[in-house]
Structure 1
Amino acid sequence: MINAVDRFLDHLTMYRLVLYYLMVLLGTALAFCLVKLVPHDPLALAFTTTLTLTACWVANKAFALIFEVPANNDSVYITALILALILDPVAVTDLSGIGAVIFASVWAISSKFIFAVGRKHLFNPAAVGVALSALLLDKPATWWVGGNSWLLPLVLIGGILIVRKLRRLDLVATFVGVALVTILATAAQYGDVLQETLGSSPLLFFAFVMLTEPLTALTTRWPRIAFAAIIGFLFAPNIHIGSFYFTPELALLAGNLFAYSVGPKGRFVLTLERIEQTAAGSYDFIFRSPRKLAFQAGQYLEWTLGLDRSDNRGNRRYFTVASSPTEQSVRLGVRFYPQSSAFKRALGSMKPGATIHASQLAGDFTLPSDPSIKIAFLAGGIGITPFRSMLQYLIDREEVRPIVVLYGTESQDDIAYRDILGCARRELGITTFYAVAKGAVRGQYPGYIDARLVRLTMPDYLERTFYISGPQAMVKALRQKLLAMGVSRSKIKVDYFPGFA
């Protein structure tokens, strides 16, 4: 069952998963309205949803043209559906209510462009829209989706899938834990308050959907936990500064300011210089950046292309930066398959001079600060890209580290970055052992990376920290093999992207 869920999640981007989750919630809420399980007029809810979708779509198109950035339809629909689920539904005859919904929708979308530094928006869009609607129009969000017990099972099921996809259990758990402790510490009756908070408040929907929004959250572990704790504390309804009380959206906006102050800044518009083939079906796209990109070897970026027609994977992807921080250009390594996504087809058709947007620099799949730590790099296929970044970095710095590389491919033609791997062996003494499933030659291991190869190449494997990057099935299988061999969980790091590449 768990493997089936993982396979389902693997074929969805994070944005599509959230979008489908919100669509199911809204569709179910409409059905429940018809049988009076949700206390809203179904026509009003349908009208409000249409209103938010239309206002958000039009605003996004307009601002995307003005600011000359690619429009992301998934993000627009997600914002619109969130607004429909937390704002009170309005009737066709309620002109002031209609104006408030349009106001919140337009401000939610415009905040991505207006409240932005380096083309990266600072605040959660839906939170901006409802906060301004409450402060300026006295039309606050009611968060009705979180207050209905009939919708709670769907909120939980979909939320768990999102957390599993994003691997952000620490973020959600910290927020919920701090919020509950703060609420109970400031409450008079624990039992009723606890039941109300978990069963009929926006706590869980807020945690699963709003808190986890990747562009305004933090990606490194301890800053991320601090981010969640700050928002959890301010989320408690009795927390106030004088006569000013925080609402869920204001708590999130305060957390967004903290995230911006400590997180990576800006969005980059990168210009394609050239394309290099690195292996059969694998290519490196080499981009020029208007300013130096400060990152650690092994980190990833979110890449966005403007697509005329998208598919169910959207127009954003997370890819490791294959270049080293010591290089001037920004290198993106991609493997193409016969049934490639719309994003990859558009990427493959790019010509020198074309541009792509990159942002959300993140990831802790990086070299340890202690250069004496023994390391093992385990790569499968295009999963060699973060190791290419790390090895080039070490070569350029002439930094010797006790590293062994195991590189698994299907055939000889699939081996990428032979030049970098050879240079690392000659200049730094870093040996690469190739595991080739079909057509292995002398000196190569016939088959896939397995426990036997680990023992053969690294008698001291229990002393090493293992970095694993490649197809998710391979990463999971190797992680289980290493655990069975006695390698500590704390000594296994896996490359991770919050979306399907």
Structure 2
Amino acid sequence: MTVTWPGMYRLISSVLTMIVLAAAGLSALGLVGFSPIGILVTAGLGIAATLLTSVLGALWRGAPLHVESSVITGVLIALIVPPTLEPRDLIGVSAAGAIAGASKWLIAPGGRHLFNPAATGVFFASVFGLTVGFWWVATPWLTPLIIAGGALVAFRSGHFFAVGWFLALSLALLTARLLVSGEPLGDTLWLVVTSYPLLFLGFFMVSEPLTQATRRFDQFLVAATIALPAALPFSLPLGFTTLSSSPELALLLGNAVAWGLTALRAVRRSTAVTLQQVMDINDTVREYRFISDHPLRIEPGQWVELQLPHQRVDSRGSRRVMSVSRLAPPSESDQWTFAITTRHSDPGSSWKRALAKATPGTKARVSQVGGDFLPPHAIVGHFVMVARGVGITPFSAQLFNARDRELGVEGTLIVVVSADEEEIYPELSHVRGIRRVMVGSVDQISTALPDSVDDISWAGVSGSPEFVAKARKNLEAAGVKRVQTDRFIGY
């Protein structure tokens, strides 16, 4: 069964809305220590204040407004600051929302916000004494919903690895600290899971793609940077105020490290791009070639997050993660930068429909470059690539790059294609050193492998989550020891 995922923004806004409504309902039953009206009013003010400064920032920059992003930020703030009807708290949530919305435009090198807006708003509003990071959402009654909804968000964001490392490190450190202070083990574990905000912080904020590192090892470093100050208290006098450890400060430190690691890799995080050429690969598949306004460092096998503003945006949003299917060879780098390839089918998402209508000259924005679906730089031995449909795109980028740069490769490209499907990039069979094999089903993959699987030094599988799971299982059953996967779940 194929699962159609909602867009990342729609999923997280839906889950956060459920948490707010559940909190209000539990409050009415006397199970959460704030009034239902206070919770709902705080959420409304958080959204309104964030949206107001976001609108002003969009007008100032002449950029499109992402309403749902502002809604998410406002709700996150409402779940962090005290949700009461006291004037001080109402001013506090409004100030935090206004600062958060403004930070998306004022602290945005390369056109992309550097720090998590909700954490930024709460932190600076706290510094000026306007509110406090109370993190009241961390309560036993809401914990099951946080875990269930948060796991979906983390999986959908593609940053489950980073979230997992953060939770493992922070929960272990906090548990150890409380045990050393003499707390009983059972009480400590219950307290850490249900009354500290680490789960909420990890699932809903560490997972934010725009402020997270894009490479696996970098994500581990970022997770560790956030986990340490989130679990271990510290206090630092700074003249007019005292800087104390808090979840929001820990997240901002992690965001700074993520930005620094990205800068060290010389990866530009965001740039405008222009559609240069549209090519029909077959009746349903098209290749779109873009040129970037500024240099982009993309490695074959990585993806770009492409923002395509359009009218009547549906639940899947105006951004989509797409594997790069080609990189411009050196001789054509002044004409185009990268290409994406996708299949169009009816009715399709609003993003896909907008892309199908796009013509040369259409403006878009790459908001992120990332991905670790990369074979070792120096492969000794044979490598195997397994794909179905447009899952071939990361492999096409790697093989076209090898051809254009005259790199020596030796491998087998296994393409699973049914009788009614047309081939995508059949010219890959002409890449020197590559044996292209077509099979009719995923169960036939093992028949296309080299005679000795011991010669396989790297194997990759790309496609839908269902296809990837089956193909990986078949490869491992055939004796392939190390299989790297790239799941196409969109974004």
TM-score by length of 1: 0.89
The 5 Å alignment of 1:94-493 reads 94-146=86-138, 148-166=139-157, 168-187=159-178, 188-191=181-184, 192-241=187-236, 244-263=243-262, 264-324=267-327, 326=329, 328=333, 329=336, 330-411=338-419, 414-419=422-427, 421-424=428-431, 428-435=432-439, 447-451=440-444, 453-464=445-456, 465-488=458-481, 491-493=482-484
State the alpha-carbon separation in 2 of the partners of residues 348 and 265 from structure 1: 27
Gaps of 5+ in 2: none
Report how far residue 285 of structure 1 moved.
1.0
2:23 is aligned, of 25, 29, 32, to 29
Q: Which residue of 1 aligns with 2:54?
A: 60
Residues 83 and 367 of structure 1, relative CA distance in 2, 3 Å threshold: same
Residues 91-125 of structure 1: per-residue CA shift (max 9 Å, x gap) = 2xx44433222211121122111101111211011
State the alpha-carbon separation in 2 of the partners of residues 119 and 48 from structure 1: 29
State the alpha-carbon separation in 2 of the partners of residues 480 and 494 from structure 1: 11
Report how far residue 79 of structure 1 moved.
0.9
Residues 312-353 of structure 1: per-residue CA shift (max 9 Å, x gap) = 111111001112264522211111111200111111111211
Residues 239 and 476 of structure 1, relative CA distance in 2, 3 Å threshold: same
Partner AA of 2:198 in structure 1: L
Q: Which runs of 4+ in 1 moved over 4 A?
A: 184-187
Structure 1 residues 454-463 or 63-72, which shifts more? 454-463
Structure 1 residues 318-327 or 164-173, which shifts more? 164-173
Q: Which residue of 2 aligns with 1:72?
A: 66
State the alpha-carbon separation in 1 of the partners of residues 371 and 261 from structure 2: 15
Contact 1:394 1:400 in 2 (8 A): yes
Report how far residue 412 of structure 1 moved.
7.0
Report how far residue 271 of structure 1 moved.
0.6
3-state SS, counterpart of residue 190 of structure 1: coil
Structure 1 residues 109-118 or 69-78, which shifts more? 69-78
State the alpha-carbon separation in 1 of the partners of residues 37 and 463 from structure 2: 48
Say whether residues 1:496 and 2:487 are aligned partners: yes
Contact 1:274 1:287 in 2 (8 A): yes
Structure 1 residues 165-174 or 328-337, which shifts more? 165-174
Report how far residue 202 of structure 1 moved.
0.8
Partner AA of 1:131 in structure 2: F
State the alpha-carbon separation in 1 of the partners of residues 155 and 291 from structure 2: 35
Partner AA of 1:244 in structure 2: L
State the alpha-carbon separation in 2 of the partners of residues 482 and 291 from structure 1: 41
Q: CA RMSD in A?
A: 2.1
State the alpha-carbon separation in 1 of the partners of residues 5 and 243 from structure 2: 45
Q: Which residue of 2 aligns with 1:444?
A: none
State the alpha-carbon separation in 2 of the partners of residues 274 and 50 from structure 1: 44
3-state SS, counterpart of residue 151 of structure 2: helix
State the alpha-carbon separation in 2 of the partners of residues 186 and 244 from structure 1: 21
State the alpha-carbon separation in 1 of the partners of residues 470 and 133 from structure 2: 46
Residues 97 and 245 of structure 1, relative CA distance in 2, 3 Å threshold: closer
Report how far residue 292 of structure 1 moved.
2.4
Residues 110 and 270 of structure 1, relative CA distance in 2, 3 Å threshold: same
State the alpha-carbon separation in 1 of the partners of residues 18 and 211 from structure 2: 24
3-state SS, counterpart of residue 137 of structure 2: helix
State the alpha-carbon separation in 1 of the partners of residues 290 and 109 from structure 2: 22
Contact 2:437 2:448 in 1 (8 A): no
3-state SS, counterpart of residue 360 of structure 1: strand
Residues 412 and 372 of structure 1, relative CA distance in 2, 3 Å threshold: farther
Q: Which residue of 2 aligns with 1:442?
A: none
State the alpha-carbon separation in 2 of the partners of residues 459 and 494 from structure 1: 22
Report how far residue 169 of structure 1 moved.
4.0
State the alpha-carbon separation in 2 of the partners of residues 334 and 46 from structure 1: 42
Paired residues in the alignment total 473
State the alpha-carbon separation in 2 of the partners of residues 324 and 407 from structure 1: 21
3-state SS, counterpart of residue 228 of structure 1: helix
Report how far residue 372 of structure 1 moved.
1.8
Structure 1 residues 236-245 or 58-67, which shifts more? 236-245
Report how far residue 139 of structure 1 moved.
1.0
Gaps of 5+ in 1: 436-446
Residues 494 and 398 of structure 1, relative CA distance in 2, 3 Å threshold: same
Residues 2-39 of structure 1: per-residue CA shift (max 9 Å, x gap) = x7xxx55x422332222221111111111111111111
Contact 1:12 1:500 in 2 (8 A): no
Report how far residue 52 of structure 1 moved.
1.6
3-state SS, counterpart of residue 372 of structure 2: coil
3-state SS, counterpart of residue 305 of structure 2: strand
State the alpha-carbon separation in 2 of the partners of residues 409 and 151 from structure 1: 46
Partner AA of 1:75 in structure 2: S
Contact 2:446 2:474 in 1 (8 A): no
Residues 333 and 215 of structure 1, relative CA distance in 2, 3 Å threshold: same
Residues 145 and 456 of structure 1, relative CA distance in 2, 3 Å threshold: closer
Partner AA of 1:323 in structure 2: R
Partner AA of 2:433 in structure 1: G
Report how far residue 376 of structure 1 moved.
0.8
State the alpha-carbon separation in 2 of the partners of residues 285 and 414 from structure 1: 18
Contact 1:70 1:305 in 2 (8 A): no
3-state SS, counterpart of residue 95 of structure 2: helix
Report how far residue 46 of structure 1 moved.
1.4
Percent of pairs with identical residues: 29
State the alpha-carbon separation in 2 of the partners of residues 266 and 164 from structure 1: 22
